[in-house]
Amino acid sequence: MGCSVTFHDRIGHERLAAAIAPQEVAELHDLLTTALAEVTRVALGADPVEVELTLCGDTEMTHLNFDHMGERGPTDVLAFPLHEWLIDGLRSRLADDDGVSPPGRLLLGDVVVDVDQAVRQAVEGGWNQTEEIALLAIHGTLHLLGHDHDEVDDEEKMRTVEHTVTSALHRKYRDVRWHSGSLFDRAGRVLSRT
């Protein structure tokens, strides 16, 4: 049960290791797996699901951002959901017209995090690169589950789930220099449209 995460390393092990030092890549993968499992547990329940998580650099994200969003330059995170979702309270449920899922784990889609952009944002904000990557992965996964932030009510629901997830991560990963809150709480932060 729970969430399975398939990682796609498009930035290269050495660049990723340098970006998150002194954290180890295996520790980052463990953190991200736990974070996405917590997101899906809070937003979906214990249904068996899978998320594809791609870690890339600016060049690839610039292409993806232009091809899929029509925007020039890199962005921090993009989400490519495979299903239509409705939000009931804080919970996600498949839309009635989404169709029947095959048995086994439900593939939610792909979250792409630009590690180069995450590092810049972390440096500008004075927080940890590992934390920034985890928050972006959490945010993108919530988009896979139908959460959005176009309307104030929708943003509040998404923020509440992010807070719940980061609180659980704060308790488990005390070696990461966490800052409280979600991406929405960052002063001066402009969220990309994912």
Cβ-based burial of 7 (10 A; exposed 0-12, middle 13-18, buried ≥19): middle
79 pLDDT more than 80: yes
Helices and strands counted in the chain (H then E) = 6, 6
Mean pLDDT, residues 18-42 taken together: 96
Containing H/E element for 57?
A: none
Mean pLDDT, residues 146-170 taken together: 90
Which whole-number Å values give the CA distances from 44 to 37, 93, 105, 109, 150, in the listed order? 10, 7, 13, 15, 21
Tens of pLDDT, residues 130-140: 999 999 999 99
Looking at residue 4, its pLDDT comes to 96
Measure the N-to-C terminal CA separation of the chain; round to a whole number of Å: 27
Tens of pLDDT, residues 174-193: 877 666 555 666 544 434 43
- Residue 49 — very low, low, confident or very high, per pLDDT cuts 50/70/90? very high
| Per-domain boundaries in the chain | 3-95+105-175
Whether the Cβ atoms of residue 145 and residue 110 lie closer than 8 Å to each other: no
CATH: 3.40.50.80, 3.40.630.30, 3.30.565.10, 3.40.390.30. Which one for 3-95+105-175? Answer: 3.40.390.30
- Cis ω on the peptide bond leading into residue 103 (within 30° of 0)? no
Rounded percentage of the chain residues whose pLDDT exceeds 70: 88
Mean pLDDT, residues 158-184 taken together: 80
- Residue 100 — very low, low, confident or very high, per pLDDT cuts 50/70/90? low
Measured distance CA(155)–CA(113) in Å, rounded = 20
